[in-house]
Amino acid sequence: MRRQSQLAEALADARRRTDELFTLLVPDAFYDRPIPERHRNIFYLGHLEAFDWNLICRRTLDLPSFHPEFDKLFEFGIDPPAGRLPEDQPKDWPSVDEVKRYNTHVRQAVSRALTSGDVPEQLWRVAIEHRLMHAETFAYMLHNLPADRKIEPPGVAARILGPPVSRAMIEVPAGGATLGRRRGNGFGWDNEFDEHTVDVPAFAIDNYKVTNGDYLEFVKAGADPPHFWVRRGDEWLQRTMFGHAPLPLTWPVYVTQQLASSYAAWIGKSLPTEPQFHRAAYLPALTPAFTPTRTPARTPDPTSRDCKERFPDAGNYNFDHWNPVPVNAHAPGQMLGNGWEWTSTVFQPFPGFEPFPFYPGYSANFFDGDHYVLKGASARTAACFLRPSFRNWFRPDYPYVYAGFRCVEN
Ligand SMILES: [Fe+2]
């Protein structure tokens, strides 16, 4: 019973997160397509409920479909290879009211399924985390809608200023990095299994993420600007969630993996591998310079409910802000939050990988050598994804992710 009410609460919380995003749209923006490689906004309104319906009610409980056309239309998102963009038109999609009616019906059925206790907890976790992932990826999409297509909620002030960033490389001694997750030890997605240890030679890593200010030097030397920058006259501006701002030099630069790799090579360094990120982020205090000073322990569990209350320095994640904060707003040892971090590791299965039988394509569809692992979290990442085993992945030229990087010396 207790478990059931926890799941109900987590599902309600995840729904609040995604419902909030749709309230930011002006009414006719449901048919806009903010990112050319993705569906129109209306797809996401139907997708979140269609996913729950298909997984929980249709496939698990074998309930008869009340709207087979929508179950299929809203089933899957898209990730087309370069040069192959979707061509559908607004008139190809149903009305917002029709989709909302479908959603109401699904939520009622899903609530009944939850009360029945007939659905394994693993599937509820999949539904909840799937929705929370979209709470972030749909925020990337809305970021790319022009400001006049969105309604800015009250109290959004981008935190632009901060003291200058003092740069240092932190030495990480050789040792083992434990990746993945032990089976039977709580929920994880298929690609998080199995747990295994990798030997990592000694290396040094940036104390803070690379900033807009750092990257500006690279652009002045002729490099491509990030998608998150906009040129106005002689000036660079930052695309923030609700408009453009003068380029905040101490914010992490959000760039593609390709641009991040080029920058690292330009200064004679590299991107970290996935095991290197683990060594740096999850080891106990590496050096006094890499230990949060305001927290009694270096690694309070960032996924715990009260982490933010107990550790004000815990980082910019769990929907804290709509934008990044300066890289030095939190102590240098706090690697999680304020932007995912690109690695040089191609997304591949861990030894012992088995796809979920009820969602076989979740990871396996992306083991194509053209997706790279990201670790960490952004301001719009739910706390549960800060567990060490969680892996995110995108194409190396996908420019819309809240993702930056730091460099390593090997
Ligand atoms: Fe999805």
- Residue 132: closest CA among 9, 15, 302: 15
| Token output for 389 | 């085993």
CA dihedral for 52, 57, 62, 63, sign (positive or negative): negative
CA of 46 to the centre of ligand 1 (A): 10
- Give ∠ CA 270-272-275 in degrees, rounded to 5: 150
pLDDT at 79: 76
CA of 107 to the centre of ligand 1 (A): 17
According to the model, what pLDDT value does residue 387 have?
A: 92
> 188-211: b or e for each residue (b if 16 or more CB lie within 10 Å)?
bbbbbbbbeebebeebbbbbbbbb
What separation in Å is there between the alpha carbon of 33 and the centre of ligand 1? 16
Distance (angstroms) between ligand 1 centre and the Cα of 40 equals: 14
- Residue 387, CB-side half-sphere exposure with 13 Å CA sphere: 16
Q: What is the Å distance from ligand 1's center to 76 Cα?
A: 6
Please tell me the distance between residue 303's alpha carbon and the centre of ligand 1 in angstroms.
22
- pLDDT recorded at residue 293: 40
User: How many angstroms is it from 18 CA to the middle of ligand 1?
Assistant: 12
Ligand 1: centre distance to CA 77 (Å): 6
Gap from CA of 216 to ligand 1 centroid (Å): 35
Output the CA 105–ligand 1 centroid distance in Å.
Answer: 19
pLDDT at 303: 79
The Å distance, Cα 78 to ligand 1 centre, comes to 9
Å from CA of 47 to ligand 1 middle: 7
From the CA of 199, how far away is ligand 1's center (Å)? 35
Cα of 388 to ligand 1 centre, how many Å?
22
- For residue 312, the CA-to-ligand 1 centroid distance in Å is 32
Position 156 scores a pLDDT of: 79
Task: For 91-149, write each residue's pLDDT tens digit.
Answer: 999 999 999 999 999 999 999 999 998 999 999 999 999 999 999 999 999 999 999 99
* Ligand 1 centroid distance, CA of 236 (Å): 34
Low-confidence ranges of the chain (pLDDT < 70): 1, 158-159, 284-300, 310-312
**CB atoms near residue 186 (< 10 Å):** 11
At residue 120, what is the residue type? P
Calculate how far, in angstroms, residue 164's C-alpha sits from the geometric centre of ligand 1: 40
